[in-house]
């Protein structure tokens, strides 16, 4: 057996390779990369014997054994050659434990000849700049009818000639127009278009058709379907909880961008960094949603930072796959094993993508879009919003001016030495924590039935005034008040004592939960011993928050008052410690929406769901007011009686202004009226804000976050800090560009960049031919398959860049080539020897993508609702999904498949059967399978049965009583051509048998034609229509209906 | 020659291919050359096993949500003794806690309220919640030293089913279909059955997905409905008879097309439609439990008559195993007992104990147990301390990746044994740790596969089920 192999291999070695000199990239690198680099390559941490074979200078240096791995010109004197040919298992490379097998005779021969010829290296082809391609001459001995249309054909024809092959003739007209229609619009040509094209003798007819289709709005829809796989676009968050989310405006932008033929460098730049462009438009900001389309988690108990890091990783990996064709995730944990990218460089990419104000978990208890977001406002909403903002500004200015006009009057009042008596107004709760009532609750000194509840574990103990409450941190004191809106002023005060410097502790809050609700509400926390007071819509990106500069003293009673003035700005939040305004830092100042909702509608003290409670903390005299208390009132709360004493002396400076503030707040009715007006305007603005739809986008933080190398890729094992940067082995980062995503986009779209254009043209080729010129569309690194026609990629890439990144021009160039237009069936040898069509000795032939199969049935039957964009729709198969939901109704059932609701944990089952990815991650290439499960969908799925029946109805109306005409028309609609005589006979027999059967089974006929939402035309004969339905359905299952040939 | 379910097949057979292209390129290169449209061969990519297999198939009774090992398999008298006392820091040793209990200010130890006893000649320790498992104790190999890295369900279950915490790798069954192919031409080789109407942590279809392998390797979920596979049955108004007539016509059309366009893909299409027609009979046949005699229903419990229950799925698993399905993956959810554990775990055991034990007994009485590997277990363990508030007769347990218990039985497994030990607190492993990768390596080993040699090259790297880890656990092999 073994001897037999050897003979075959030697034969191959002699015939196919020996004739030509060895080329490093073509012949040697694949062997070294696959069999050697894992231990003797770029990864420094796992390098064995300190030997590296990917760098010539090092490979040529003698190692400790005195023999260099490679001695140019002397294979037998090279350690590498000795080891790969060694007999014993102890000596041989790769070693048996690597389980890579021994090198084959061919591989050994290649390495021998390469070393003998001098062991010259070449950089990996994909990392070299795109250079102009010298076009080979077109062979002259091809059969008539084969002529090179453009440079693509020059390159392919020369390759075929080297293999002694010739291309196929141009495909038949009806095949060609069908191929072109699907490729450019995702839809089949109409019967009229087929007839016209087949009859059109104008030599320009084909080109005219190409131009027309590239202008069709369906072009954008077709192109978007591919890009949405790359962008991992979905209508749900993915991971465990997988809730729905609104991202479809991004999808519509993609369609629009393709239809507008937005130059590809801009298409890429907008998505990577639209927010960083000067004065970005809404479209440019919307495009950055690309970076937020990754999966997100809300599973209870998940570690927030772990998932935040995951999200940034996903952005990096997607960037690598989509634009560089590099598998960057390898470097998350270690230096790349095959490509010259280090772990440090991975985290330099990471540093570009982590500077947004995001949370690692989305909110389980609310439906808020995770920050940062942009609002999606229509023109009317924009106008309303602008007006409301203007009104608010005006309403804020009025009381200020009024206050100044009242200074003299207030001075007079003060001069009268007024006596201040009575309670501070607006108090809605006062818990003195003196005793539990009969029901075990803590009564309030104000209000009716406001007693707070608390489990017995929180115990009464000596307090600041009388008794106080000792908190466990695991049990909350729950009040019944405090559901304030962002525009409502309010104040909370309490005495508290913390036993230690808490890293984090919840003193009180109005919210359902921490990360599980994105902290919606308001909260007073201890963070590193400091008080942090926050109003929050979605933490951290939609919130306002301040923190005291000094830590709170431990083990002593401190009086704390916090207030909000209803402005929703950081300047409107205040913290008082022992009656004095505390110095604070602004932590966040970006509250956009309201702070109510999400549950937990009243204040709770000392504990929060899955947060750290105020363990061992003491609280006393917990009080709430529905207004922002003035400084003097807060001082009074801290030290009762101070207000009454204060006016007994003459006032100066600062004191005087506090008294003015106090007077206006307490005694001036006009001022009170102005405040009420202001509140009304703020309320109106807040309600407008809450009604605005949001979409996740990128928005750079003013202060970038520090990124770190994460050891072994673990989120919590931080190594050295890194700054944004690009790998040394690729193009240098432009000196004049900022080190942010915009600079990154500029680097990427620089015409000198070796990868973006190559990767892009390859994906387009894949989309038209079913297979990329580089099969691994996601990997152009040294482990990728070497393309059959590297010069074709380079020529296309060069043209693409030179055209100004013109996508329509690229597609036109490809489809104008003879290579594209040739027949898809090659000779028996070509079909057998080149099943994947690497050589391009025939045209493309592959099963249509899922969307096109369904859309074809819809348009052929006339059911397609040709409407652009909008929210996703639910198809018939939704109830059959792994995550079932109800099917939609009406036009939802008949929209193009692109608009089908996409749930990551359960995509539409019909589409899934036909190989759509789940879009959990960036996918640059779909599988194309053919399995029996496809038959079930096409034969039995209600979408296809209904479409068959509706088409049967139409045909029956158009050609009543003429079965041959019906079959002919049906075939044109479904397979794009007339049936020949044999096919007509087969179909006619099929119809006759169906008709005979349904004549005997009329109830079955009635049942069949009822399938689908669209009712049958009552004027039509049910039995005939049923019989026709099955015949038409058979055509939908025909090879030529589902395979692009 | 019968064609197998997932064969997409080229008309050229494997040998012809090898002759054409030279076998030195090896199996992987062959698949690449054939392309995904035509890659799979009936025998799988390996063309056979690496060595003689002990097991021909696997039935994996996955218990999603993470059952408490401390209340079922891993007896810890010390916890009962120290019930209510704080978990010593020395035992915890800085282990990261989930976001659920990380912020709890007290972590009291929780002893199991359930009694443990030894069963069978092997003296296997099992809790009183498992009276039926006790009857087959001598068939079981209980591993008490499993561990993982995940602390949450999504990544945990994904890890257990695909060897990686992040979705996107092929699942175990997909690897097997890719490597070994199918033994039955009329049924998928990888079938998934899920207990119906269960709450708890959701399952995701990537758990039985094919990852980067071609999608025909993914598990086919049989649903407890008249249509076990999407649109399996003819629509209303179409009988098998007139469907056959349509398919006959369709075949004629395709044969006619092939005469003018001799493309092997057209023959594949013809074969697929014949296969689909065969499956319309074979799938309803295997899923029709009504053919089982009453004493079998008695064995599995009365639930077995209700399709979609765990009992019915166990019985269906046996029927699939009889027909040569290679990997039968059951899922039973709702073991995530953060609170109210005593009542909830009793309820889950009531649904699962009898059917699982019945499956062992049934396979045994049919002489199939020694060639069928049965596995029972979840994605991680549960803590020895209480999550949330502990009361006199109620408590909960949080997620615990450091140790948990599973059992294996049948095909090549040493029966009536225990493997591995945890410390007296039931918090850390003290003997013979078994990682998920080790479990996978062992499963593949029992099926005759060297886990380091079942690989697929994707994105420039050879991937395996066991990533770059995994050791066969020799100590549990018969």
**CA-based angle A720:A723:A729, to the nearest 5?**
100
Sort out which chain B residues have CB atoms less than 8 A from A1031's CB and list them.
246, 249
> Do both B71 and B180 map to the same domain?
yes
pLDDT level of residue B329 (50, 70, 90 thresholds): very high
The DSSP H or E segment spanning A429 is strand A427-431
**pLDDT > 70 fraction of chain B, expressed in percent and rounded:** 89
- The candidate with the shortest Cα–Cα distance to A497, out of A431, A457, A552, A578, is A552
**Token digits for A411?**
């001075």
Q: Kindly determine whether residue B24 and residue A303, on different chains, have CB atoms separated by under 8 Å.
A: no
Same-domain status, B2 and B90: no
Q: Contact at 8 Å (CB) between A511 and A476?
A: no
Residue B84 belongs to some domain of the structure: yes
- Match 């021909």 to its residue by tokens: B56
Same domain assignment for residues B28 and B143: no
Interface test with B, best of A935, A1003, A1022 (most B CBs within 10 A): A935
Q: Which residues of A touch B164 (CB under 8 A)?
A: none
DSSP state of A1043: E
Among the partner residues B10, B152, B234, nearest to A301 by beta-carbon distance: B152
Tell whether B80 and B58 lie within a shared domain.
yes
Residue of A nearest to B275 (CA): A932
Q: Are residues B7 and B29 in the same domain?
A: yes
CB atoms within 10 A of CB B350: 12
* pLDDT tens for each residue of B72-96: 999 999 999 999 999 888 888 777 6
Tell me which residue in B12, B215, B231 faces A941 most closely, judged by beta carbons.
Answer: B231
Which token pair is A493? 């005060």
Q: What does the pLDDT read at residue A651?
A: 66
Is the same domain home to B83 and B6?
A: no
pLDDT of residue A611: 93
Q: Which domain holds residue B17?
A: 1-41
Which residue's entry shows tokens 């689909």?
Answer: B276
In a domain, B265, yes or no: no
pLDDT at B428 over 50: yes
Domain assignment present for residue B263? The answer is no
Residue B276 lies in a domain: no
Of A106, A905, A1004, the CB nearest to B237: A1004
Burial A670-697 (b: 16+ CB within 10 A, else e): ebeebbeebbebbbbbbebbeebebbbb
B117 at A interface, C-beta within 8 A: no
Instruction: Tell me what pLDDT residue B362 has.
Output: 98
- The alpha carbon of residue B41 is apart from the nearest alpha carbon of chain A, in Å, by 13
Question: How many structural domains compose chain B?
Answer: 2
Beta bridge partners of A509: A523, A604
pLDDT in tens, A941-973: 999 999 999 999 999 999 988 999 999 999 999
Instruction: Name the token pair of A438.
Output: 């009969």
Residue A832 in 3-state DSSP?
helix
Q: What is the 3-state secondary structure (H, E, C) of A586-626?
A: EEEEECCCCCCCCCCCCCEECCCCCCCECCCCEEEEEEEEC
- What is the C-alpha to C-alpha distance for residues A672 and A696, in angstroms, rounded to an integer? 40
Beta strands in B294-425 (DSSP E): 327-332, 372-377, 381-386, 397-400, 404-410, 417-419, 421-422
Question: Whole-angstrom Cα distance, residue A611 to residue A301?
Answer: 10
The answer to whether ipTM exceeds 0.90 is: no
Identify all chain A residues contacting B161, using CB atoms and an 8 Å cutoff. Answer: none
Residues A17, A22, A23, A29, Cα dihedral to 10°: 90
Peptide bond into A540 cis (omega under 30): yes
- Whether the Cβ atoms of residue A526 and residue A551 lie closer than 8 Å to each other: no
Contact yes or no for B209 and A918 at CB 8 A: yes
**With contacts defined as CB-CB under 8 Å, which chain A residues touch B221?**
882
pLDDT the model gives residue B39: 33
pLDDT at A18: 44
Which stretches within A895-962 are classed as H helix? 909-913, 932-940, 942-958
C-alpha to C-alpha distance for A722 and A741, rounded to whole angstroms: 15
pLDDT at B460 over 70: no
Contact list, A845 vs chain B (CB under 8 Å): 263, 265
Residues 6+ apart with CB under 8 A from A291: A271, A272, A315, A318, A353, A698
Q: Which two tokens stand for residue A387?
A: 């007006």
Query: For chain B, how many residues are written?
Result: 478
Q: For residue A380, what are the contacts with CB-CB under 8 A and spacing of at least 6?
A: none
- CB spacing of A939 vs B234 below 8 angstroms: yes
Largest CA distance in chain A: 118
Q: Closest by alpha carbon to B204, among A295, A750, A933, A679?
A: A295
Cα A422 to Cα A569: distance, rounded to the nearest angstrom: 32
Angle between helices B264-287 and B310-322 (to 10 degrees): 130
Q: Are B288 and B21 in contact (CB under 8 A)?
A: no
A817 is written with which tokens? 């080539």
Number of neighbours of residue A430 by Cβ within 10 angstroms: 18
Residues B63 and B156 in one domain: yes
Q: What gap in Å lies between CA A191 and CA A975, rounded to an integer?
A: 10
Q: What is the pLDDT of residue B5?
A: 41
The Cα angle at residue B470 between residues B6 and A99, in degrees rounded to 5 = 70
User: Is residue B249 included in any domain, yes or no?
Assistant: no
What is the reported pLDDT for B37? 33
> Is residue B240 domain-resident?
no
User: Cα–Cα–Cα angle for A517, A522, A524, nearest 5°?
Assistant: 115
Given a cut of 70, whether residue B363 has pLDDT beyond it is: yes
Instruction: State residue B117's pLDDT score.
Output: 97
Scanning the structure block, which residue is given the tokens 């009762």? A640
Q: How far is A325 from chain B (nearest CA, A)?
A: 9
The span from the first CA to the last CA of chain A, in angstroms, equals: 41
CB nearest to A299's CB, from B152, B214, B236: B152
Q: What pLDDT score was predicted for residue A307?
A: 93
Shared domain for B76 and B106, answered yes or no, is yes
Bond prior to A94 in cis (omega within 30° of 0): yes
Would an 8 Å CB–CB cutoff place B124 in contact with chain A?
no
Query: Which positions in chain A touch B252 (Cβ < 8 Å)?
Result: 986
What domains are defined for chain A? Answer: 2-122 (no CATH), 427-643 (2.60.120.200), 850-913+930-1045 (no CATH)
Chain B residues touching A1010 at Cβ < 8 A:
236-237
Question: CB–CB of B201 and A240 under 8 A?
Answer: yes
pLDDT value of residue A414? 83
Q: Do B265 and A1039 touch (CB under 8 A)?
A: yes
Shortest Cα distance from B477 to chain A (angstroms)?
A: 23
pLDDT at B325: 95
Q: Check whether residue B15 and residue B68 sit in a common domain.
A: no
**Is B20 part of the contact surface with chain A (CB cutoff 8 Å)?**
yes
The answer to whether the beta carbons of residues A900 and A873 sit under 8 Å apart is yes
CA distance A699 to A853: 39
Q: Which residue of A has its CA nearest to B247?
A: A1034
| Chain A residue with Cα closest to B29 | A785
Cβ <8 Å between A997 and B241: yes
Q: Residue B429, Cβ neighbours under 10 Å: how many?
A: 18
Q: Look at B15 and B244; give whichever has higher pLDDT.
A: B244
Q: Are A129 and A752 in contact (CB under 8 A)?
A: yes
The answer to whether residue B13 neighbours chain A at the CB level (below 8 Å) is no
Q: If contacts are CB pairs under 8 Å, which of residues 229-288 in chain B contact chain A?
A: 229-239, 241-243, 245-246, 249-250, 252-254, 256-257, 261-266, 268-269, 272-273, 275-276, 279
d(C-alpha A679, C-alpha B390), whole Å? 47
Label residue B31 by pLDDT band (50, 70, 90): very low
Size of interface A-B (CB pairs under 8 A): 267
- Work out the average pLDDT over B256-267: 90
H helix runs in A803-891, sequence order: 807-816, 818-821, 828-833, 850-860
Collect all residues of chain A within an 8 Å Cβ-Cβ radius of residue B269: 930, 1039
Cα distance between residue A641 and residue A647, in whole Å? 11
Helix or strand run (H / E) with residue A666: helix A653-667
Exposed/middle/buried for residue A50 (C-beta within 10 Å: 0-12, 13-18, 19+): exposed
Q: Hey, are the CB atoms on A845 and B275 less than 8 Å from each other?
A: no
Enter the tokens of residue B225: 């409905």
Asked if the structure places residue B287 within a domain, the reply is no
**In whole angstroms, what separates CA A635 from the centre of its chain?**
52
Q: Which residues of B touch A930 (CB under 8 A)?
A: 8, 37, 265, 268-269, 272
pLDDT digits (tens, 9 = 90+) for B108-165: 999 999 999 999 999 999 999 999 999 999 999 999 999 998 888 888 999 999 998 8
Cis peptide upstream of residue A840 (ω within 30 degrees of 0): no
**Residue ranges for chain A with pLDDT beneath 50:** 1-18
Specify the DSSP class assigned to residue B288. -
Q: Which of A24, A48, A27 is nearest to A36 (CA)?
A: A48
- Does the structure show a pLDDT above 80 at B474? yes
Q: How far is CA B63 from CA B156, B334, B473, in A?
A: 12, 8, 22
Interface of B with A in 393-422 (CB under 8 A): 398-399
**Residues with Cβ within 8 Å of residue B66, at least 6 apart in sequence:** B153, B156, B335, B336, B378, B379, B380, B381, B382, B399, B404
DSSP letters, A496-556, are EE-SS--SEEEEEEESS-SGGGTT-EEEEEEETTEEEEEEEEETTTEEEEEEESSPPPSSS
What's the CATH number where B89 sits?
3.40.720
Is the same domain home to B121 and B205? yes
**Most A CBs within 10 Å: which of B151, B215, B252, as the mutation test of the A interface?**
B215
Interface probe, candidates A7, A301, A476, A1002, chain B, greatest B C-beta count within 10 A: A301
DSSP assignments along A746-790, one per residue: HHHHSTT-SSHHHHHHHHHHHHHHSS-SSS-TT--STTSPPPS-H
- Residues B47 and B27: beta-carbon distance below 8 Å: yes
User: Hey, are the CB atoms on B249 and A1005 less than 8 Å from each other?
Assistant: no
Q: Decide if B313 contacts B193 (C-beta within 8 A).
A: yes
What would the mean pLDDT of B6-25 be, rounded to a whole number?
35
Closest residue of chain B to A942, computed from CA coordinates = B235
- Mind telling me how many Å the CA of B423 is from chain A's nearest CA? 26
- CB contacts of A778 in chain B (<8 Å) are 459
Q: Does B196 lie in the same domain as B120?
A: yes
Burial A551-565 (b: 16+ CB within 10 A, else e): ebeeeeebbbbbbbb
Is the residue at B296 inside a domain? no
Q: Which of B190, B266, B227, B214 is nearest to A941 (CA)?
A: B227
If asked whether residues B35 and B48 sit together in one domain, one would say no
* Interface contact flag, B12 A12, Cβ < 8 Å: no
Q: Do B153 and A299 touch (CB under 8 A)?
A: yes
């Amino acid at each position: 057996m073994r001897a037999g192999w050897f003979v075959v291999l030697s034969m191959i070695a002699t015939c196919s390779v020996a004739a030509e000199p060895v080329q490093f990239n073509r012949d040697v690198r694949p062997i070294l990369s696959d069999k050697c680099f894992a231990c003797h390559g770029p990864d420094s941490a796992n390098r064995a014997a300190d030997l590296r074979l990917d760098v010539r200078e090092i490979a040529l240096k003698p190692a400790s054994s005195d023999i260099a791995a490679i001695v140019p010109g002397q294979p037998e004197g090279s350690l590498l050659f000795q080891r790969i040919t060694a007999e014993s298992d102890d000596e041989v490379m790769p070693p048996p434990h690597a389980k890579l097998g021994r090198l084959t005779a061919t591989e050994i021969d290649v390495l021998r000849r390469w070393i003998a010829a001098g062991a010259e290296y070449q950089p990996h082809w994909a990392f070299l700049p795109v250079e102009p391609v010298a076009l080979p001459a077109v062979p002259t001995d091809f059969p008539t009818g084969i002529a090179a249309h453009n440079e693509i054909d020059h390159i392919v024809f020369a390759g075929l000639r080297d293999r002694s092959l010739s291309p196929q003739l141009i495909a038949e007209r009806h095949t060609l127009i069908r191929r072109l229609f699907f490729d450019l619009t995702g839809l089949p040509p109409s019967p009229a278009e087929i007839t016209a094209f087949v009859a059109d003798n104008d030599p320009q007819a084909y080109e005219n058709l190409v131009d027309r289709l590239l202008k069709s709005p369906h072009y954008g829809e077709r192109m978007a379907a591919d890009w949405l796989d790359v962008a991992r676009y979905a209508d749900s968050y993915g991971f465990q909880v997988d809730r729905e989310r609104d991202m479809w405006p991004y999808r519509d932008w993609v369609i629009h961008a393709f239809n507008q033929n937005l130059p590809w460098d801009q298409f890429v730049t907008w998505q990577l960094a639209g927010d960083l462009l000067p004065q970005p438009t809404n479209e440019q900001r919307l495009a950055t949603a690309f970076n937020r389309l990754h999966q997100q988690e809300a599973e209870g108990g998940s570690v927030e930072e772990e998932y935040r890091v995951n999200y940034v990783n996903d952005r990096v990996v997607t960037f690598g796959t989509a634009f560089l064709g590099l598998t960057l995730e390898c470097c998350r944990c270690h230096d790349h094993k095959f490509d010259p990218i280090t772990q440090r460089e991975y985290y330099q990419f990471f540093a570009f993508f982590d500077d947004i104000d995001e949370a690692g978990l989305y909110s389980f208890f609310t439906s808020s879009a995770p920050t940062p977001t942009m609002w999606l406002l229509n023109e009317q909403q924009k106008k309303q919003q602008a007006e409301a903002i203007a009104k608010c500004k005006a309403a804020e200015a009025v009381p200020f001016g009024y206050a100044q006009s009242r200074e003299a009057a207030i001075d007079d009042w003060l001069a009268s030495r007024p006596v201040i008596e009575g309670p501070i107004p607006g108090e809605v709760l006062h818990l003195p924590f003196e005793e539990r009532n009969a029901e075990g609750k803590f009564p309030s000194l104000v209000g009716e039935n406001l007693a707070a509840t608390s489990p017995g574990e929180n115990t009464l103990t000596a307090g600041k005034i009388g008794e106080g409450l000792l908190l466990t941190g695991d049990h909350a004191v729950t009040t019944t008040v405090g559901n304030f809106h962002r525009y409502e002023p309010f104040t909370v005060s309490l005495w508290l004592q913390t036993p230690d410097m808490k890293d984090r502790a919840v003193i009180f809050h109005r919210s359902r939960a921490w990360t599980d609700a994105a902290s919606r509400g308001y909260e007073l926390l201890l963070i590193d011993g400091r008080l942090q007071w926050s109003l929050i819509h979605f933490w951290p990106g939609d919130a306002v928050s301040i923190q005291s500069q000094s830590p709170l003293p431990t083990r002593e009673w401190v009086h704390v008052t916090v207030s909000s003035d209803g402005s929703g700005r950081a300047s409107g939040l205040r913290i008082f410690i022992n009656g004095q305004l505390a110095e604070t830092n602004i932590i966040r100042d970006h509250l956009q929406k309201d702070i109510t909702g999400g549950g937990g509608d009243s204040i709770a003290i000392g504990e929060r769901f899955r947060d750290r409670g105020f363990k061992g903390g003491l609280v006393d005299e917990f009080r709430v007011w529905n207004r922002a208390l003035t400084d003097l009132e807060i001082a009074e709360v801290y030290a009762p009686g101070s207000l009454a004493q204060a006016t007994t002396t003459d006032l100066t400076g600062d004191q005087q202004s506090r008294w003015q503030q106090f007077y206006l707040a307490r005694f001036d009715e006009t001022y009170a009226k102005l405040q009420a007006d202001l509140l009304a305007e703020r309320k109106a603005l807040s309600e407008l804000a809450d009604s605005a739809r949001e979409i996740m986008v990128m928005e750079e933080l003013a202060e970038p976050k520090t990124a770190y190398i994460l050891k072994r890729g673990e989120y919590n094992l931080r190594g050295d800090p890194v700054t944004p940067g690009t790998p040394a082995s690729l193009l240098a980062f432009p000196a004049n560009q900022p080190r942010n995503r915009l600079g990154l986009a500029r680097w990427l779209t620089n015409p000198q960049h070796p990868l973006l254009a190559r990767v892009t043209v390859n994906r387009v080729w894949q989309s038209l031919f079913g297979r990329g010129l580089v099969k691994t569309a996601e990997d152009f690194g040294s482990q990728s398959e070497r393309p059959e026609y590297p010069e074709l990629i380079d020529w296309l890439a060069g043209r693409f860049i030179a055209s100004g990144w013109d996508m329509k021009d690229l597609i036109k160039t490809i489809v104008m080539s003879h290579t594209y237009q040739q027949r898809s069936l090659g000779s028996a040898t070509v079909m057998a020897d080149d099943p994947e069509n690497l050589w391009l000795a025939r045209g493309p032939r592959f099963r249509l993508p899922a969307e096109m199969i369904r859309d074809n049935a819809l348009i052929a039957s006339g059911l397609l609702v040709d409407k652009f964009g909008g929210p996703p729709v639910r198809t018939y198969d939704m109830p059959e999904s792994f995550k079932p939901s109800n099917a939609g109704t009406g036009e939802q059932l008949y929209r193009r498949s692109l608009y089908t609701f996409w749930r990551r944990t359960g995509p539409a089952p019909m589409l899934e059967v036909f190989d759509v990815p789940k879009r959990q991650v960036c996918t640059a290439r779909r599988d194309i399978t053919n399995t029996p499960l496809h038959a079930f969908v096409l034969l039995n799925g209600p979408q296809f049965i209904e479409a068959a029946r509706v088409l049967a109805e139409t045909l029956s109306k158009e050609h009543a009583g003429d079965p041959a005409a019906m079959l002919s028309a049906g075939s044109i609609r479904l397979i794009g051509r007339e049936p020949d005589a044999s096919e007509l006979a087969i179909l006619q027999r099929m119809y006759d048998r169906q008709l005979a059967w349904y004549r005997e089974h009329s109830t079955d006929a009635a049942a069949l034609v009822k399938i689908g939402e669209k009712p049958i035309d009552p004027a039509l004969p049910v039995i005939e229509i049923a019989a026709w339905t099955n015949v038409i359905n058979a055509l939908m299952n025909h090879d030529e209906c589902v395979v692009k040939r | 020659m019968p064609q197998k379910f997932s064969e997409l097949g080229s008309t050229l057979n494997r040998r012809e291919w090898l002759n054409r292209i030279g076998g030195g390129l090896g199996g992987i290169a062959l698949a690449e050359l054939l392309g995904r449209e035509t890659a799979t061969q009936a025998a799988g990519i390996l063309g056979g096993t690496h060595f003689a297999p002990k097991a021909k198939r696997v039935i994996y009774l996955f218990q999603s949500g993470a059952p408490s090992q401390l209340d079922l398999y891993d007896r810890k008298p010390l916890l009962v003794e120290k019930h209510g006392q704080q978990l010593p820091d020395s035992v915890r040793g800085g282990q990261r806690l989930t976001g659920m209990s990380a912020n709890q200010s007290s972590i009291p130890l929780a002893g199991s309220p359930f009694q443990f006893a030894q069963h069978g000649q092997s003296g296997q320790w099992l809790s009183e919640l498992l009276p039926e498992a006790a009857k087959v104790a001598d068939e079981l190999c209980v591993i008490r030293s499993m561990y993982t890295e995940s602390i949450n369900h999504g990544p945990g279950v994904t890890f257990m089913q695909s060897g990686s915490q992040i979705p996107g790798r092929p699942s175990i069954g997909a690897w097997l279909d890719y490597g070994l192919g199918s033994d039955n031409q009329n049924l998928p080789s990888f079938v998934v059955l899920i207990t119906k109407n269960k709450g708890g942590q959701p399952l995701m279809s990537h758990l039985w997905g094919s990852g980067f392998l071609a999608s025909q390797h993914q598990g086919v979920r049989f649903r407890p409905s008249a249509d076990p596979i999407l649109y399996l049955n003819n629509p209303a108004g179409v009988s098998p008879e007139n469907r056959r007539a349509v398919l006959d016509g369709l075949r004629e059309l395709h044969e006619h097309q092939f005469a003018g366009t001799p493309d092997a893909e057209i023959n594949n299409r013809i074969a697929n439609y014949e296969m689909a027609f065969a499956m319309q009979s074979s799938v309803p046949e295997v899923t029709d439990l009504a053919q089982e005699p009453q004493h079998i229903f008695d064995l599995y419990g009365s639930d077995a008559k209700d399709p979609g229950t765990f009992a019915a799925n166990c019985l269906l698993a046996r029927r699939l195993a009889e027909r040569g399905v290679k990997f039968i993956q059951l899922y039973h959810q709702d073991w995530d007992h953060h609170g109210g554990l005593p009542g909830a775990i009793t309820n889950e055991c009531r649904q699962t104990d009898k059917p699982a034990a019945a499956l062992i007994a049934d396979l045994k009485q049919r002489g199939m147990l020694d060639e069928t590997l049965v596995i029972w277990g979840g994605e991680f363990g549960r803590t020895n301390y209480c999550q949330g508030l502990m009361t006199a007769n109620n408590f909960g347990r949080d997620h615990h990746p450091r140790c948990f218990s599973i059992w294996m039985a049948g095909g090549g497994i040493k029966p009536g044994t225990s493997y591995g030990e945890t410390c007296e607190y039931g918090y850390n492993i003290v003997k013979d740790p078994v990682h998920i990768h080790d479990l996978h390596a062992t499963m593949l080993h029992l099926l005759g596969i060297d886990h380091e040699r079942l690989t697929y090259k994707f994105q420039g790297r050879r991937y395996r089920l066991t990533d770059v880890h995994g050791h066969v656990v020799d100590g549990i092999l018969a």
